[in-house]
C-alpha cells in the first residue's frame, strides 16, 4: 500500500501552515534522534522519504506525507536535547505542543521510546499533554537491534509502569527496528 503511493506534501513551520484538516492523520513523536524519520521510511518502504541523521534535531518542521485521500503520516521535530540554538529549539517545541494539542484530525500519536533508554521525564511530559488533549497514543520502542534481550525486558517493564499513569495510552507496545525491519509489517498493518 504505502511504498509507491506515499509522497512528501509539505514542511510546516507554523500552525497556520498546516494543510486543510480534510483527512485523518497519525504522527510520530519522540525525543530527538529516537528514530522517528527512520521509522517513517521503514513503514513506507522508502529509503529517504524522510531525512534522517546522526545529529539530534534533524527534523525541524512538521513534515506531512500523503498516503492516500484518507490519510496523512506526520513526522515532527523531536523534543529534548537538540543540536540547534536554544531560541530555535523553543520555537519548534511550541509548534510541536500546539500541533499535538490542537490538531482535530490527529487520530493517534505514536510516541517513540528508545529501547535502550526507556521513558524519560520529557517523554512523561509529552504523554501528559496528550492525556489532557485526549489524543490516544501508542508507544513504539525503537532501535531494538541495539539492546540485548534481557535489557529489553527491563525497559519494557519500566515503560509499562510509566504508562499506567497515562489514561490516553493505548496498552499495546510495539517493538521495532527500522534497521532490521522488526515490527514494521505489524505497524504498517496497524496504521
Number of residues that bind ligand GTP (CB under 6 A): 23
80 binds ligand GTP (CB under 6 A): no
The CA distance from 110 to 72, in Å, is 13
Q: Which residue, 69 or 121, has its beta carbon nearer to ligand GTP? A: 121
CA dist., res. 79 & res. 89, Å (int): 8
Q: Residue with the closest Cβ to Mg ion? A: 59
Up-side HSE of residue 19: CA atoms within 13 Å toward CB? 20
Query: Is residue 44 a contact point for Mg ion (CB under 5 A)?
Result: no
31 versus 36: smaller Cβ distance to Mg ion: 36
Q: Which is nearer to Mg ion, 6 or 168 (CB)?
A: 6
* From Mg ion, ligand GTP, none, interface partner of 32 (C-beta below 5 to 8 A by class): ligand GTP
Q: Which is nearer to Mg ion, 36 or 143 (CB)?
A: 36
Question: Can you tell me the distance from the alpha carbon of 48 to that of 186, in angstroms, rounded to the nearest whole number?
Answer: 21
Is 109 in contact with 29 (CB distance < 8 Å)?
A: yes
Task: Let me know how long the chain is.
Answer: 191
Instruction: Tell which residue, 29, 26, 27, 30, has the closest CA to residue 117.
Output: 30
Footprint of ligand GTP on this chain (CB under 6 A)?
Answer: 30, 32-38, 52-54, 56-59, 78, 142-143, 145-146, 177-179
Amino acid at each position: 500500500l504505502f511504498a509507491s503511493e506515499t509522497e512528501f506534501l509539505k514542511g510546516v513551520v507554523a500552525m497556520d501552515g498546516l494543510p486543510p484538516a480534510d483527512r485523518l492523520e497519525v504522527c510520530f513523536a519522540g525525543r530527538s534522534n529516537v528514530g522517528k524519520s527512520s521509522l517513517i521510511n521503514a513503514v513506507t518502504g522508502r529509503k529517504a522519504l524522510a531525512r534522517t541523521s546522526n545529529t539530534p534535531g534533524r527534523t525541524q518542521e512538521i513534515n506531512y506525507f500523503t498516503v492516500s485521500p484518507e490519510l496523512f503520516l506526520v513526522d515532527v521535530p523531536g523534543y529534548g536535547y537538540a543540536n540547534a540554538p536554544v531560541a530555535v529549539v523553543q520555537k519548534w517545541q511550541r509548534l510541536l505542543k500546539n500541533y499535538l494539542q490542537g490538531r482535530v484530525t490527529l487520530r493517534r500519536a505514536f510516541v517513540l521510546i528508545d529501547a535502550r533508554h526507556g521513558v524519560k521525564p520529557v517523554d512523561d511530559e509529552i504523554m501528559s499533554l496528550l492525556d489532557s488533549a485526549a489524543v490516544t497514543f501508542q508507544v513504539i520502542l525503537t532501535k531494538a537491534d541495539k539492546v540485548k534481550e534481557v535489557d529489553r525486558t527491563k525497559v519494557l517493564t519500566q515503560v509499562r509502569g510509566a504508562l499506567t499513569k497515562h489514561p490516553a495510552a493505548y496498552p499495546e507496545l510495539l517493538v521495532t527496528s527500522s534497521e532490521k525491519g522488526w515490527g514494521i509489517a505489524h505497524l504498517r498493518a496497524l496504521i
